[in-house]
Amino acid sequence: MVPYIHKRPALEIIQSKIFPRETLEKLMEVWRFKGHKIVFTNGCFDILHRGHIDYLAKASDLGDELIVGINSDASVKLLNKGITRPIQDEISRATIIASLHFVSAVIFFDEDTPQDIIKFVNPEVLVKGADYDANETNPESKKYIVGSDYVRAHNGVVKTLNYLEGYSTTAIEQKIRNN
C-alpha cells in the first residue's frame, strides 16, 4: 500500500507566489546561485485576458523565472487610467497572475513607474509590450522603457513583445459599458 502524500492546497501555493521584498530577495539569491535567468515585466493586469496570457507566457519563455511587478491600487490611480480603475483590487489582481504556472513570483510596487522595483530585482531580461521601443534612450519619450538603462548597465537585455491584436482591458471595459 502506498502511503498518502499530503498535497499543499492550491490556493496556498498561489498565495505563496506573492512576495514582500525581503522574502523575494532571498529567493532571487537562490535562483541566481542555481544559474537561473530572471525575467521581469510589470503592469496593472486589471482584467486578465487572452492578450495578457499570451504576453506573459512569451515573457516567461525568455528565461527561467518570471517575476511580475503589479501596480498597487495607489499606483494605478497615479497612472490616470480613469476613475473606474483599477476595476479589481491589488490582491485580486496579484492572485490571478500568481495562479499562472509560468509565473514564479509577483511583487507590488506603489510608485507610478517600476524603476525602483526593477533596480531591486535587477533582472537579466526586462520585458515590455511592443508599444514601447527597446532601443529608445530618451526617458521623456512615451516609447521609453523605464529601467532599461539600468538593466543594460548591469549586462541585462531589454525586449519587447508584440501584443495579441484585439485584446485590451480598455476594449473589454468599453464592451461591458456598451452592453
What pLDDT digit, counting tens, does each position of 7-60 carry?
Answer: 888 999 999 999 999 999 999 999 999 999 999 999 999 889 999 999 999 999
Closest among 52, 23, 16 to 120, alpha carbons compared:
23
In a domain? residue 90? yes
In a domain? residue 11? no
The CATH number of whichever domain residue 110 belongs to comes to 3.40.50.620
pLDDT, mean of residues 112-134: 96
In a domain? residue 1? no
In a domain? residue 5? no
Distance between CA atoms of 36 and 67, rounded to whole angstroms?
12
Return phi, psi of residue 71, to 5°. Answer: -60, 130
| pLDDT exceeds 70 at position 1 | no
CB 128 within 8 A of CB 160: yes
In a domain? residue 29? yes
In a domain? residue 2? no
In a domain? residue 9? no
pLDDT at residue 166, as a whole number = 78
pLDDT at residue 8, as a whole number = 83
| pLDDT exceeds 90 at position 139 | yes
In a domain? residue 127? yes
Would the pTM count as exceeding 0.85?
A: yes
Phi-psi region of 37 (alpha: psi -120 to 50; beta: other; left: phi over 0): beta
> Which three cell numbers mark 31?
535562483
Domain of residue 37, residue span: 19-178
| pLDDT exceeds 70 at position 148 | yes
Number of domains in the chain: 1
pLDDT at residue 120, as a whole number = 98
